[in-house]
A and B are shown apart, each in its own frame.
Chain A
Amino acid sequence: MYHIEVRHLKKYYEVHHKAPGFWGSLRSLVRRETRTVRAVDDISFTVAPGEIVGFLGPNGAGKTTTLKVLSGLLYPTAGEVRVLGFTPHERQPAFLRQITLVMGQKQQLLWDLPAIETLLINKAIYEIPDDEFRRTLDELTELLELGTLLTKQVRKLSLGERMKCELAAALLHRPKVLFLDEPTIGLDVTMQAKVRQFIAEYNARYGATVLLTSHYMADVAALAKRVIIIDHGHLVYDGDLETLVQQVAPYKVITVTLRQSVSPSVLKPFGHVLAANGVKVSIQVPRGTTSRVAARLLQEFAVDDLTIEEPPLEEIIQHVFTGGIREASPDVA
């Protein structure tokens, strides 16, 4: 049993150019000039219960569109979608009760009121009994470190505080499936880390399935073992994040701080020298030989410090988009 099943999903938008204003709209109703945008073009994947999946792709790749189809907001142009056994676009109450949608760029909180008012409305909407409401609220307050934020007017909260309250409002009914579209966008680094940690804890505590899109690779690296990468509406990779890193970037970066500077040519035999700023040197070496090279460096030079790092995830993803994955991934659809 999967929580999310997507088979050959396509979502095309018909965009019509229209003249500005009311009459322009009316005219375009009669005579349409349309163009088709293939936002999602034949993607398939499944997500098991309790899994956290990172959904990656450059701007306009079709991530938001996919999440909207999954949460029942958009009709698929073609293909089959099932979430918790339901067909999302039928928007059956029993389905909507078990999912939630959080969008970093939009908010459901009432702007002029304290966030608690929105929570009370959601309590009524989802018919949450008083004691359960209290229990969930206590838990969310603890996990999100809400303190007294809920009783402050939403418009007086910072962006990060608002996102915390937004998450509380979205999770009050303890959904089984979470669709999170860029939940950390615009937040500062500490707040990003907090939101991330919260999502991980929520997932661990309730076994909820999470499908998460993000601009920030750190989010995905910290949360999701599995990533799905799409580009131009096509699925480019679906699998382990670690495997992806190994396949796409079969090298690591060794950075050494030497006691005294040496000429880069001396370092050449060790690997591809990425940077040499005086005593600090970065060398790119094949994955399998990393420890051997590190040992030799330590042997042959007076070394103050040595670190071995994965290449930055951004770089890897970039590599995927420029076509580096095709021969590397076994999971290409």
Chain B
Amino acid sequence: MRYVRLLWLFFKNSLLVEMEYRVNFALNTLLSVLWLGVRLAAVLAFFVHRPTIGGWTLPEALIVLGLFNVFSGIIDAVLRPNMDQIVEHIRKGTMDFILTKPVNSQFLASLRVFVVWNLADVVLGLGVIVYALGRLDFRPSSAQVAVFAALLVAGVVIVYAFWMLLVTLAFWFVRVSNITELFSTFFTAGRFPVTVYPDWVRWLLTFIVPVALLTTFPAASLLGRLTATYALLSLGMAAGLLVASAAFWNYAVRHYASASS
């Protein structure tokens, strides 16, 4: 309950700060739409000469693209700004104020600021998914929707935990954006269903940099194509990564000797 209230306060504060730059808000929304256009065009280009890619028709692939948009919105609205904040806290030594508060320090450090307007990407992504389902003339069963929702949440947890594992390295190397950029490179592979890639890439994107679990898996579940094993794999990965990121964070905090004086 306390954590929900804090999240709400952080969200409200972020909004208050952004209100000052209302022009940015309009500009950013425009950019979001433009970016979606570019991503759409890239996917459409693949379908010019073929009816399917990797066994997915165009509307089916659009669900994957919609999910990709959702997650890139989450990365830009939540993960990236908080990474900058954490790096700043470590550099300036103000992490001290986070570590002396009687709440979970990882929570306090990693969910503190939001670039609210980047959530436009999330909304647009969900829009694309709804549109694609309309094109397919497909109404998923409530069970499929439930599994989809669970996998979506698992995806959010996975991307958060995986990202935090990388960001926690900031306690040792202050400039971690190089590392998260590497992740972003892998992440762009998630625009397409992973079945378009060779086996070893698919394996990499499932088990090492779990991008497939963010986009392809939930999309497949919505279409009723995901086996229970893979659904459970996704949930298991989410739980495992979350535990791992918390453990790594605590380990890092123990080794933290903040900037002097």
Residues of A near any B CB (own CB < 8 A)? 13, 22, 25-26, 29, 59, 64, 68, 71-75, 91, 93-94, 96-97, 99-101, 103, 105-108, 110, 112-113, 117, 120-121, 124-127
Contact = CB atoms under 8 A, between A and B. Distances in A.
Interface in B89-139: 92-94, 96-97, 99-103, 108
B251 interface: no
B13 A110 contact: yes
Given A73-B99, A106-B96, A108-B97, A22 B173 contact: yes
A64 B20 CA distance: 37
19 contacts: A26-B173, A29-B172, A71-B96, A73-B96, A73-B99, A75-B254, A91-B100, A96-B100, A105-B261, A106-B92, A106-B93, A106-B96, A112-B20, A113-B17, A117-B9, A117-B13, A121-B6, A121-B10, A125-B101
Contacts of A96: 100-102
Nearest to B97: A108
Smallest CB-CB A-B distances: 7 pairs: A93-B102, A108-B97, A96-B102, A25-B173, A112-B17, A97-B102, A64-B261
Interface in B198-251: none
B5 interface: yes
Nearest to A92: B102
A103 B96 contact: yes
B143 interface: no
Contacts, number: 75
A100 to B, nearest CB: 8
A101 B2 contact: no
> Which of the listed residues B10, B96, B258 has the most CB atoms from chain A within 10 Å of its own CB?
B96
Interface in B51-105: 92-94, 96-97, 99-103
A125 B173 CA distance: 29
A13 B261 CA distance: 13
Interface in B1-57: 2, 5-6, 9-10, 13, 16-17, 20
B240 to A, nearest CB: 25
Contacts of B258: 68, 73-74
Contact of A101 (B92, B97, B102, B103): B97
Given A101-B100, A105-B261, A110-B13, A25 B172 contact: yes
B185 interface: no
Nearest to A120: B9
Nearest to B99: A73
Nearest to B178: A22
Nearest to A65: B260
A124 B172 contact: no
Given A22-B173, A124-B6, A125-B6, A91 B97 contact: no
Nearest to A88: B100
Nearest to A105: B261
Nearest to B17: A112
Contacts of A64: 260-261
A96 B101 CA distance: 6
A125 B20 CA distance: 26
A124 B5 CA distance: 7
B257 interface: yes
Nearest to B93: A106
B110 to A, nearest CB: 15
Contacts of A91: 99-100
B135 to A, nearest CB: 43
A124 B254 CA distance: 25
A85 to B, nearest CB: 16
Given A72-B100, A96-B101, A120-B9, A107 B2 contact: no
Given A105-B261, A113-B17, A120-B9, 18 more contacts: A22-B173, A22-B178, A59-B261, A73-B99, A73-B100, A74-B258, A93-B103, A94-B102, A96-B101, A97-B102, A100-B100, A101-B96, A103-B96, A106-B96, A108-B97, A121-B6, A124-B9, A125-B2
